Amino acid sequence: MPKPMYVWSGSAWVSVASEVESLATYATQSYADNTPGMKMIVPSSVAVGSGSGSIATSGRVSFSGSSSVALNGIFSSTYKNYLIQLSLTGASADGVVYMKLRNSGTDASTNYSWAFVGLNTSSVDTNTGSTGQTTGMVLCSTETDFNKAYYSSQINIFRPFEAVVTSANILNTGSTSSAVAMTRSGGAWHTTESSYDGINLIPSAGNITGDITVYGYKA
C-alpha cells in the first residue's frame, strides 16, 4: 500500500495533499488580478479612419488599410503606467506613424515633443527631434516595400490617465526596402497636464496594416 508523503509546514509535518488543497484557494482570478506584473487591456472600442479594425477577445487590435486607428478606454485609474506594442505589416506610403493621446473620443492636438537617436547598418547614426508639435509623438517609420520592411515599436507610457505631463520611452526596429536594418530609441512628451483614456495612431501619409496590444503594469 502506498505511503503518504509529508512536508514540513514550519511547525509540523503535514500531508502534501492537505497543503495542495490549501494552496488551491490562491489560484483564483482575484489573486491573478492583484499579483504584480502586466495585464492585457481590452479597449472599450476601436475606430478606424478607413479600412477595418477589430478587437480580439484577448484585447489585441488588428487593423488593415487604416488611415487612423483609435483605441478608446485603455487607460484608467486601475494602472499608472502602460506598455504598448505595435507591429506593422504593411503601408501604402512612405512616412512615419504618429500617436496622439485622446479622451472621450477626442484627440489632444497640441504640445507634443519627441527625440530619437538611431543606428543602422549603413553605419550612419541619426539624431532627430522636435518640440511643440501638433502631429503627435513619432512611433516608427513606414515603407511601401513591405516585402523587406517590417516595423515594430515598443512604447512605455507613463501616467496617461493622471492630469500631469505624459511621457513615453519608445524603441522601434525595422529594415528598409534596400535591406538596411535599423533601430531607434527615444522619448516623447505631451506637456498638457490632462487625463487621457485612449490613443490614436495616425500615419503621415496613406494607410497602415498591422496589430497593436496594450498592457497595464500592475504594482
My answer on whether 132 and 201 are in the same domain is yes
Gap between the terminal Cα atoms of the chain: 48
Under 8 Å between Cβ of 71 and 214: yes
My answer on whether 15 and 45 are in the same domain is no
My answer on whether 144 and 156 are in the same domain is yes
Q: Which pLDDT band, with edges at 50, 70 and 90, does 6 fall under?
A: confident
Mean pLDDT of 139-151: 68
Q: Report which DSSP code applies to 3.
A: P
My answer on whether 47 and 19 are in the same domain is no
Kindly report the CATH number assigned to the domain that includes residue 41: 2.60.120
Residue 47 CA, distance from chain mean position? 17
My answer on whether 49 and 30 are in the same domain is no
Residue 188 φ then ψ, to 5°: -145, 160
My answer on whether 99 and 19 are in the same domain is no
My answer on whether 31 and 41 are in the same domain is no
Under 8 Å between Cβ of 139 and 201: yes
My answer on whether 45 and 16 are in the same domain is no
My answer on whether 57 and 21 are in the same domain is no
Under 8 Å between Cβ of 69 and 107: no
51 residue type, one letter: G
> Which is nearest to 203 in space by CA: 60, 108, 100?
100
My answer on whether 31 and 44 are in the same domain is no
Separation CA 39–CA 84 (nearest Å)? 12
* The C-alpha cell that represents 4 in the structure block: 503518504
Range of the domain at 179: 36-218
> Which is nearest to 198 in space by CA: 63, 40, 44, 36?
44
Tally of structural domains, the chain: 2
* The C-alpha cell that represents 113 in the structure block: 515633443
My answer on whether 60 and 145 are in the same domain is yes
The tens digit of pLDDT for each residue in 166-206 reads 999 999 877 655 556 677 888 999 999 999 999 999 999 99
Q: Which pLDDT band, with edges at 50, 70 and 90, does 148 fall under?
A: very low
My answer on whether 20 and 116 are in the same domain is no
Q: What is the mean pLDDT of the chain?
A: 85
Of 12-21, 33-42, 167-176, the poorest mean pLDDT is in: 12-21
Distances (CA, A) of 58 to 62, 169, 218: 12, 25, 17
The tens digit of pLDDT for each residue in 53-84 reads 999 999 999 999 999 999 999 999 999 999 99
